[in-house]
A and B are shown apart, each in its own frame.
Chain A
Amino acid sequence: SAVISQKPSRDICQRGTSLTIQCQVDSQVTMMFWYRQQPGQSLTLIATANQGSEATYESGFVIDKFPISRPNLTFSTLTVSNMSPEDSSIYLCSVGQGPSYEQYFGPGTRLTVT
């Protein structure tokens, strides 16, 4: 299975600023996903990021707020723009890999917006 790292692991940010979260995978993968998880809640998919194409955003998430880059098959970034306290959450990247269509998750980025 893929080994995934995320940076930063946590951050405390001021409202109105932006934070870029990095996701690095130890092998080449086609599909990467960005999720948000509020405390005590399930996962909410923000977008799917395929290399070489624009990210596909889920309902309620827009590119201006959550721009995503996918420059190659091992790396992606998610930016949380113009942050407000409502953006405080855990952000997870995952990759889809293997014939069983399984997803593997990074360790997450815990974001607090003050």
Chain B
Amino acid sequence: ELKVEQNPLFLSMQEGKNYTIYCNYSTTSDRLYWYRQDPGKSLESLFVLLSNGAVKQEGRLMASLDTKARLSTLHITAAVHDLSATYFCAVDEDSNYQLIWGAGTKLIIKP
């Protein structure tokens, strides 16, 4: 059974700092997704990583995938308050659109 673990589950940081969220999964897969959820809102797709070594960047966020280590990272550079949200990673094991979700990382960035 595929399991997806995120850490940390909660992160409070100051503006301007760098930090990384980790997403580990338990079986082979080369499809990993990052989503953002603002309080009271739905999920917004951030990154789609489809192969080993894939790296995607959008603004202050950069995501990468290492399928051999079964690990994806979401790196935040020089954090700003607007990035405060909950971030979820999800893995597609069978290429059938069904995703296995991590528990989410609640990120609070203090001005």
Residue ranges of A at the interface with B (Cβ–Cβ < 8 Å): 1, 31, 33, 40-43, 45, 48, 92, 94, 96, 100-108, 110
Contacts and interface: CB of A to CB of B under 8 A. Distances in A.
Nearest to B103: A42
Given A42-B103, A101-B31, A106 B50 contact: no
Contacts of B106: 40
Interface of B: 31, 33, 40-45, 48, 50, 88, 90, 92, 95-99, 101-104, 106
Nearest to B43: A105
23 contacts: A31-B96, A31-B97, A33-B98, A41-B103, A42-B88, A42-B101, A42-B102, A43-B43, A92-B43, A94-B43, A96-B97, A100-B48, A101-B96, A101-B97, A103-B33, A103-B45, A103-B90, A103-B97, A105-B42, A105-B44, A107-B41, A107-B42, A110-B40
A106 B42 contact: yes
Contact of A45 (B44, B98, B103, B104): B98
Contact of B42 (A1, A42, A92, A100): A92
B56 to A, nearest CB: 12
